[in-house]
Amino acid sequence: MNDYSAVADRYAIRRLTADDAADIAAVHIRVWRETYPGLMAQAALDALDVERFTVKWRQILGGDDSPRVVGAIERATGALAGWITVGQARDEDAPAPTELWVLNLAREHQGTGVARELMRLELADRPAYLWVVEGNERAIAFYRRHGFDIDGVRREQDDEGNRDLRMTRPTIVK
């Protein structure tokens, strides 16, 4: 069985809608709380609220111009494993026309190949860039395996001094 068929057997990949907002919010908060201790202020992580995030996700996904958010649903449980959002670059000085806005995956689904499949389906081989929290070494290593490199551009994320690093991929590495 190849990697794709293993992912296809375990996960259903589909576009997420406003009806999925509560599931997205719960996974979003869980992923941040698993990933960012020590990289973001603990008080900020503790203050994350599922109800507020659900409202936010309903607004994001409920509009006519809502971004394309594609999720992986674990077939055995029906649970959302994670999602990806790829869209037009949002930065004025963007190094590529396409931005990987978000790739979030619950810890128990990392290493299954589903993140790679989401990237293959939604980003393909397009030149792109993304922002990653400085110090998130697992994510940085993952993106490097997919042809992204840190380009030296940083941005302040918040008043706590947290920073994001920009990673770019001019073309896919095969």
Domain harbouring 80, CATH code: 3.40.630.30
d(CA 10, CA 13): 10
Of the pLDDT bands very low, low, confident and very high (cuts 50, 70, 90), residue 23 is very high
Written as one letter, the residue type at 163 is R
Of the pLDDT bands very low, low, confident and very high (cuts 50, 70, 90), residue 1 is very low
Residue 151 belongs to a domain:
yes
Please write the tens of the pLDDT for every residue from 137-156: 999 999 999 999 999 999 98
Residue 100 belongs to a domain:
yes
Of the pLDDT bands very low, low, confident and very high (cuts 50, 70, 90), residue 161 is low
Residue 152 belongs to a domain:
yes
Residue 118 belongs to a domain:
yes
Domain that holds residue 38: 3-169
d(CA 90, CA 99): 7
d(CA 118, CA 34): 21
Residue 149 belongs to a domain:
yes
| Res. 16: pLDDT tops 90 | yes
Of the pLDDT bands very low, low, confident and very high (cuts 50, 70, 90), residue 159 is low
d(CA 75, CA 107): 17
Strand partners, 119: none
Number of domains observed in the structure of the chain: 1
Residue 64 belongs to a domain:
yes
d(CA 167, CA 26): 27
d(CA 162, CA 43): 14
Q: What is the DSSP string of the chain?
A: --HHHHHHHHEEEEE--GGGHHHHHHHHHHHHHHH-BTTB-HHHHHT--HHHHHHHHHHHHHSTT---EEEEEETTT--EEEEEEEEE--STT-SSSEEEEEEEE-GGGTTSSHHHHHHHHHTTT--EEEEEETT-HHHHHHHHHTT-EEEEEEEE-STT--EEEEEEESS---
Residue 174 belongs to a domain:
no
